[in-house]
Chain A
Amino acid sequence: MELPSKINNNEKSLQQGISPSGNGGLISNSKLTALVVDSDRICQILEKAILESQGVETQVVGSGRDALDLLASGATFNLIIIAMVLPIMNGVETTRQIRAMGIRSKMLGVTACSYEREKQAFLDAGVDEFIEKPLTPQKLASIMREMRNA
């Protein structure tokens, strides 16, 4: 089955490591940018679709390692949406390492988990907010409003 452009573009994004803009990831001053870090394809597609429907330039990576490499290359994002369960290096450890790099982007931890202890671990690692999957346009809209007003 041929996947439609919305899903195919997402697949292409998985191979893209660097923003084409040459200025470290910010496509334009007026557009917000986001990085989705999630190994689940459905979640990647959904989160990217929601972000793009709200005018956010979005890149997607499937692992913590890929996220760190992308950020280390100079790419910058207004928002990083990061899943808790990731291959090899989990979301909590990835978040710690992102913060240790000095990156101050807004970070939103997302997970299907509902255990308090695990939520707290994510917050302690450095995410600004934590939500239970799935991400919805309403949840994202309020975060976007805060970011645009900041």
Chain B
Amino acid sequence: MERTQQHRQVAHMRQSLFDQGLLDEQFVQLEELQDDANPNFVEEVVTLFYRDSARLVLNIDQALDKSPLDFSKLDSYMHQFKGSASSIGAKKVKSECTLFREYCKAGNGEGCMKTFQQLKKDYAVLRKKLETYFQVIFHSLLFDKDGEN
């Protein structure tokens, strides 16, 4: 595939993540922090997010299995999760975190459970799409290097 087409594919994939409401401006801030000394900063921060947040997801799952629900604990877990999700620009996940916390505040267990199921789906979808996006970037860079040689 031509270099221009590769670049277009990367740009298109990136734009679709914003158009689908999966990412917000914060992701752009991460990109702007990437430099020659740390060319994979964005990918590594995102990878670290998914690694670290897996524990929180498990904690929330386990806490939602208990009866009665400890809304204060659930809220605290989700507060932490929201902080790091918002730091990588995970827009949809962040708004579901906010909704979950509203349900915690209202003591609405069913609302919490439904929201968390949706959150986990969106969290997984974003992960998959970002992994694919980073792979395409990687191949595009390889292609650029081949082109130079």
Q: Chain B, 45-86, contact with A by CB distance < 8 Å: what is the 0/1 string? A: 101110010000000000000000000000010011011101
- A4 near B38: Cβ-Cβ < 8 Å: yes
| Closest CB in chain B relative to A24 CB, distance in Å | 29
Whether A124 sits at the interface, judged by CB under 8 Å, is no
B49 touches A49 (CB 8 A): no
Chain A contacts of B44 at CB under 8 A?
1, 3-4, 7
Does B26 interact with chain A (Cβ within 8 Å)? yes
Q: Does A137 contact B (CB under 8 A)?
A: yes
Chain B's nearest CB lies how many Å from the CB of A22? 27
A45 x B45 contact (CB < 8 A) = yes
Q: Which of B32, B41, B49, B84 contacts A4 (CB 8 A)?
A: B41
- Residues on B with C-beta less than 8 A from A83 are 83
B1, CB-defined interface residue at 8 Å: no
Q: Does residue B88 face the partner (Cβ distance < 8 Å to A)?
A: yes
Question: What is the bound-complex CA distance between A42 and B27, given in angstroms?
Answer: 13
- A6 near B41 (CB under 8 angstroms)? yes
Q: Are B86 and A136 in contact (CB under 8 A)?
A: no
Residue of A nearest to B47 (CB): A1
Find the A residue at minimum CB distance from B29: A136
A133–B97 Cα distance when bound, in Å, is 13
8 contacts between A and B (CB under 8 A): A5-B38, A7-B41, A40-B84, A42-B49, A42-B88, A85-B83, A112-B82, A137-B29
A-binding residues in B (CB < 8 A)? 26, 29-30, 32-33, 37-38, 40-41, 44-45, 47-49, 52, 76, 79-80, 82-84, 86-88, 97-98
On A, residues with C-beta under 8 Å from B are 1, 3-7, 40-43, 45-46, 49-50, 53, 83-85, 111-114, 133-134, 136-137
Given A42-B49, A112-B83, 12 more contacts at CB 8 Å?
A: A3-B48, A4-B38, A4-B41, A5-B38, A43-B83, A46-B33, A85-B76, A85-B79, A112-B86, A112-B97, A113-B79, A137-B32
